[in-house]
């Protein structure tokens, strides 16, 4: 839905939904890093649901206008983990996992709520959390899907990994402009939606 075709209530519900999706995602990263021994994010005040600590204004605006945006990344020092690879993988997955849990809570609210305003906000929040989880699971740097994959790439391939990472933004931009992004992310979104709707 285009921003210009949305009602004021839709825009407000979208802003709330995006703020929630971003906040739970970044909190997920920070909290799991904390559980694994890295308090970098906690010490910087990022282990919180406060949207002001996580939202990037331009990223928020892009999310509202085109449906793809970003937040301030949570600082993580994998050297504090007992197991670098496992720790990096779990922290990378934590954001998407937090989004999926939030979407599940939202669909339960939708099932039992009786107020239209609450249902509308819950619908938007569920949709954005599903979309945010699917987007971040793509194996493209600096997204979380790449964090999972890169955790297990042998060190001898570091040069190849570095070259791939340096081309990540052009690759993502081309995918968005050509429409390939939708083709790639749709299966992930469908899988997540099928998990969430079990709870309806």
CA–CA separation, 141 vs 81, rounded Å?
21
> Which tokens go with 126?
């569920």
26 is catalytic: yes
CB atoms within 10 A of CB 137: 24
The span from the CA of 162 to the CA of 189, in Å, is 28
> Which of 26, 120, 159, 165 is labelled catalytic?
26
DSSP secondary structure of 50-111: -GGGTB-HHHHHHHHHHS---BPPPP--GGGSSSHHHHHHHHHHHHHHHHHHHHHHHHHHHH
**Which of 71, 67, 70 shows the shortest CA–CA distance to 2?**
67
89 CB neighbour count, 10 Å cutoff:
19
The helices-and-strands tally (H runs, E runs) of the chain is: 9, 0
Residue 14 near residue 128 (C-beta atoms within 8 A): yes
Q: Which sequence positions are flagged as catalytic?
A: 26
């Amino acid at each position: 839905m285009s921003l210009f075709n949305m009602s004021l209530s839709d825009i407000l519900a979208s802003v709330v939904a995006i703020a929630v999706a971003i906040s739970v995602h970044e909190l997920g990263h920070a909290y799991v890093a904390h559980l694994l021994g890295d308090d970098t994010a906690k010490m910087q005040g990022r282990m919180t649901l406060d949207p002001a600590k996580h939202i990037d204004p331009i990223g928020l605006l892009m999310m509202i206008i085109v449906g793809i945006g970003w937040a301030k990344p949570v600082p993580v020092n994998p050297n504090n983990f007992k197991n670098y690879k496992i720790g990096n993988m779990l922290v990378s997955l934590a954001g998407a996992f937090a989004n999926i849990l939030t979407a599940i809570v939202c669909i339960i609210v939708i099932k039992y709520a009786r107020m239209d305003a609450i249902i509308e906000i819950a619908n938007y929040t569920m949709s954005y959390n599903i979309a945010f989880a699917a987007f971040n699971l793509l194996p493209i740097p600096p997204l979380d899907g790449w964090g999972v994959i890169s955790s297990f790439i042998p060190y001898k391939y570091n040069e190849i990994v570095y070259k791939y990472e340096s081309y990540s933004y052009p690759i993502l931009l081309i995918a968005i402009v050509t429409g390939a992004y939708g083709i790639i992310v749709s299966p992930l979104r469908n899988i997540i939606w099928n998990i969430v709707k079990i709870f309806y």
